[in-house]
Amino acid sequence: MSDTFRALQLSKTDDGQAANIVELTENDLMDGDVTVEVTHSTINYKDGLALTGAAPVVRTWPIIPGIDFVGTVTKSEHGSWKEGDKVILNGWGVGETHFGGYSQCARVKGDWLVALPDGISPERAMAIGTAGYTSMLCVRGLERQGIMPDSGDIVVTGAAGGVGSVAIALLAKLGYRVIASTGRASEANYLKGLGAAEIIDRDELSGEGRPLGKERWAGAVDAVGSKTLANVIAQTKYGGAVTACGLAQGPDLPSSVMPFILRGVQLIGIDSVMAPIEKRQDAWNRLATDLDMAKLDAMTETVGLSDVAEIAPKILAGQVRGRVVVDVNA
């Protein structure tokens, strides 16, 4: 690595905020006990919120955004990591309060890192990113509640987005029958290519619903929240489980206790940001074996650091299919 490196820096302005490519040195980085030469990052929904200012995600200014990165350790004062180790970072407030992944160099706490599993390239690690890692946490949540392929269908909301796309590919490979809920009818062939057996319009779930509906699925992966999540819960079969990991429609939950006390439905909150290292490494190890990498490649596009700000509003508007990898050297 040269003495200077490129990074995308987000700064406050009189009009709001601005994103610029800047040249920095390691002296500009924040405190940490591991320095990483970053090769790739990605663009998640939270990154879109940060880059557009649509929500107060960023709490330290100026900031290098990017809640994910993958790279090689160049310096370490942490007992778990040595020079040359391949590592992944997801969450921990990186890109919000600590300089993140839209940079050719990062310095972070070693406790925040997980090992890049054998069989996953750096590019594919960021094609997975927080969205895909969250999907795996959702699948593990369903498994822990005993929801198996013979339990019944699994509905995935926000299906064409990052979490939804990876969840469909994972669930299909594991043998589940997947129902994909999307507002983009044009993506039906894409979703079926990932493994969805059935496509439903998001309007079936996004409006006002009944406290208890017809039993339709044994489980769910929901990245939407609000009325959609309420309707998903209301239509979950007896003893089923719903994993909730997002709020694309909103943070509210206009539901009732009826599905929980009359059908024994379990609502499982999925946190990817502060999840303990054991859950993280388990999820990444499972991704290495349970995700069809050809399907991952089919849902992925790669952009350069200078393209990130342009894509951010599109991901919030639901105009981005699948996953976007950021090659920080491009």
| 4-116+299-327 and 131-269 share one fold | no
CA distances to 70, 89, 275 from 281, in Å:
14, 11, 10
Could you tell me what percentage of the chain is helix, strand and coil, using 3-state DSSP and rounding each to the nearest 5?
A: 35, 30, 35
Chain-centre distance for alpha carbon 66: 12
Contact 297, 271 (CB under 8 A): no
41 forms bridges with which residues in the sheet? 326
* pLDDT (tens digit per residue) in 137-152: 999 999 999 999 999 9
Contact 158, 164 (CB under 8 A): yes
Domain boundaries, the chain: 4-116+299-327, 131-269
| Closest C-alpha among 143, 108, 117, 53 to residue 287 | 117
Sign of dihedral through CA atoms 106, 108, 110, 113? negative
CA distances to 105, 304, 308, 328 from 7, in Å:
8, 11, 11, 8
Contact 29, 9 (CB under 8 A): no
Instruction: Give the span between the Cα atoms of 277 and 329, in whole angstroms.
Output: 28
CATH H-level superfamily of 131-269: NAD(P)-binding Rossmann-like Domain (3.40.50.720)
* pLDDT (tens digit per residue) in 22-47: 999 999 999 999 999 999 999 999 99
ω into residue 211 within 30 of 0, thus cis?
Answer: no
Provide the token pair at 42.
Answer: 């990605």
Chain-centre distance for alpha carbon 3: 32
pTM given for the model: 0.93
Tally Cβ neighbours within 10 Å of residue 248.
18
* pLDDT (tens digit per residue) in 56-111: 999 999 999 999 999 999 999 999 999 999 999 999 999 999 999 999 999 999 99
| Architecture of the 4-116+299-327 domain | Alpha-Beta Complex (3.90)
Q: Which H or E run includes 166? A: helix 162-173
Q: What is the DSSP letter of 310?
A: H
* pLDDT above 70: residue 9: yes
Percent of the chain, pLDDT > 70?
99
The pLDDT value recorded for residue 1 is: 56
Q: Helix or strand or coil: residue 14?
A: coil
Instruction: Give the span between the Cα atoms of 111 and 124, in whole angstroms.
Output: 22
* pLDDT (tens digit per residue) in 233-292: 999 999 999 999 999 999 999 999 999 999 999 999 999 999 999 999 999 999 999 999
